[in-house]
């Protein structure tokens, strides 16, 4: 089953894969409950729930409250709502898989987009919590942390920081192929861009040096 806020887009993908499309705003718990109910009635128990929604969220501390709240709802609470909806039946069966998309920004940062970076950090933390807490109940969790994927959030004519990200951006199809392989291995972190793991290690090994580097990147791409 495919779900998206964009009804037309969801229907197109569903038609390509022979599935069912359900329109939903994943920032609203009632919408996630509804799509889970529909999927369960149509196909039976959910074995894998992919929580993948994301929105750009530019600005810093001055970004409006609405931007901060919407980013929190989409990047964090959508994962919470999904877990609430599917975990009880998964735990009862003793198996289930949650694939939650965070971002390279959730491990590193995102220049010029504080609401995005902060909420994606929280998404990683929630995925870690689920993995630790529910492993003994047969629940598997993976956290997808891509860098750039060509999409509505990263068009091919992107400017500013987007130009930097485009240099190594991959297609959605390539990302999906990588995810399928990683799910077979039951890896927690999924890195379609392997260099992100190296950046993450460098950040942990010498945080001051990493901050110094990122300040230079800020001046170069944001000003």
Indicate which residues carry an active-site annotation: 116
Whether the Cβ atoms of residue 102 and residue 149 lie closer than 8 Å to each other: no
In angstroms, the first-to-last Cα distance of the chain is: 43
Strand stretches in 35-108, DSSP E = 48-51, 96-101
Strands (E) in 15-138, as ranges, are 21-23, 48-51, 96-101
Among residues 62, 86, 199, which one has the least CA distance to residue 134? 86
In angstroms, the CA 38 to CA 208 distance is 49
């Amino acid at each position: 089953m495919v779900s998206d806020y964009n009804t037309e887009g969801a229907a197109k993908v569903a038609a390509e894969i022979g599935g069912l499309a359900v329109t939903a705003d994943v920032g609203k718990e009632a919408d996630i409950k509804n799509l889970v109910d529909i999927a369960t009635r149509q196909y039976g128990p959910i074995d894998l729930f992919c929580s993948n929604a994301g929105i750009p969220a530019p600005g810093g501390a001055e970004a409006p409250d609405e931007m901060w709240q919407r980013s929190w709802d989409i990047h964090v609470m959508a994962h919470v709502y999904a877990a609430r909806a599917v975990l009880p039946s998964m735990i009862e069966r003793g198996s289930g898989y949650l694939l939650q998309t965070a971002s390279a920004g959730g491990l590193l940062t995102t220049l010029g987009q504080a609401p995005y970076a902060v909420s994606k950090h929280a998404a990683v933390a929630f995925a870690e919590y689920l993995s630790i807490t529910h492993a003994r109940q047969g629940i598997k969790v993976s956290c997808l942390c891509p860098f750039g994927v060509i999409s509505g959030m990263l068009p091919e004519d992107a400017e500013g920081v987007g130009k930097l990200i485009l240099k190594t951006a991959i297609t959605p199809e390539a990302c999906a192929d990588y995810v399928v392989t990683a799910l077979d291995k039951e890896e927690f972190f999924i890195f379609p861009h392997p260099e992100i793991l190296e950046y993450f290690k460098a950040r942990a090994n010498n945080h001051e040096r990493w901050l110094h580097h990122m300040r230079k990147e800020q001046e170069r791409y944001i000003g």
